[in-house]
Amino acid sequence: MKPWGGRFKDGTDPLLERFSASIDFDRKLYHHDIRGSKAHAGMLEKIGILTASEKNAIIKGLDEIEKEIESGSFQFSAVLEDIHMHIETRLIEKTQAGKKLHTGRSRNDQISLDMRLFVKDELKALDEKLTALLAAMVRKAEAEIAVMMPGYTHLQRAQVVPFSHYILGHYHALKRDRSRIEAARITADVLPLGSGALAGSTIPLDREWVRKKLGFARVSENSMDTVADRDFVMDAVFAAAMIMTHLSRFAEDLILFATQEYAFISLPDKLTTGSSLMPHKKNPDALELIRGKTGRVLGDVFGLFAILKGLPFTYNRDLQEDKEPMFHALETASDSLAIMTLCVDGLTLLRHNMEKAAEESFMPAVELAEYLTIKGMPFREAHGIAGIAVRQCEESGILLNKMPLARLKDLSPLFEKDVFEYIKPRNALRVRKSKGSASFDEAKKAIDAEKKYLHL
Maximum alpha-carbon separation in the chain: 101
Question: Residues for the chain: how many in total?
Answer: 456
Task: Please classify residue 62 by burial: count the beta carbons closer than 10 Å to its beta carbon, then call 0-12 exposed, 13-18 middle and 19+ buried.
Answer: buried
CA–CA dist 266, 39 (Å, integer): 52
For residue 33, give the nearest of 77, 75, 91, 72 by alpha carbon.
91
Element spanning 162, H or E:
strand 156-162
Catalytic residues, which ones?
154, 275
CA–CA dist 120, 126 (Å, integer): 10
Contacts of 344 by beta carbon, 8 Å cutoff, 6+ apart: 133, 136, 137, 140, 167
CB-based burial, 393-411: b 16+ in 10 Å, e otherwise: beeeeebbbebeeeebeeb
* Single-letter residue type at 253: D
Using alpha carbons, list the distances in angstroms from residue 212 to 87, 207, 346: 24, 9, 44
Measured distance between the N- and C-terminal CA atoms of the chain, rounded to whole angstroms: 59
Find out whether 247 and 287 touch, Cβ atoms under 8 Å. Answer: no
CA 133 to chain centroid, in Å, comes to 11
Q: Is 67 helix (H, G, I), strand (E, B) or coil?
A: helix
